[in-house]
Amino acid sequence: MNAILLLKSQHLEVSELFERFESSDGRAGKIKIFEQIADALAVHAAIEEHKFYPLVRERDTEREIEEAYDEHLEIKKLLVDCMRSTDAPGFDGKVAALKGAVEHHVAEEQDELFPKVRRLLDADTLEAIGQLMEAEAATLIEAGEPRKNVKVALEPPQPNV
């Protein structure tokens, strides 16, 4: 699958999970949906950081890539806080803050980064990157509970020079 289409489908999936979380009643149901959100975000962030961002980093996208890494750091901090707070008061509010950060990140990627990447890379290249991303996503999902592997690095990976 084309890398951008894969990422957009993941964006949609997470958006739908947030909607299900908000409309869910019981605590146990909310926690189960949150775990799905956390796993989806963990996989999404990993494949973007390991495959997509390094492979699409160009002079014309440098600003957007750096901002995306910064946003990922914030999202991961919020995600870890939510995972530690599932039984605490204010859990729903923390998930709402996570949703806001994710929505902001998604909007910037779809409005700014993806159009630039489409201009820089041809369809075959985007397909090849997508295949690498799908393979890593499958490995992460197969290992189980990707959310438990979320790492909050203080510095984004440096470009290969």
| CA dist list (Å): 22 to 16, 96, 105, 150 | 10, 9, 20, 23
Write down the pLDDT at residue 54.
Answer: 92
* Integer Cα distance of 140 and 95 in angstroms: 23
pTM: 0.89
Mean of pLDDT values over 22-26: 92
Q: Is the pLDDT of residue 59 over 80?
A: no
Contacts of 21 (CB under 8 A, 6+ apart): 30, 33, 34, 37, 95
For the chain, domains (ranges, CATH) are: 3-148 (1.20.120.520)
Q: Is the pLDDT of residue 8 over 80?
A: yes
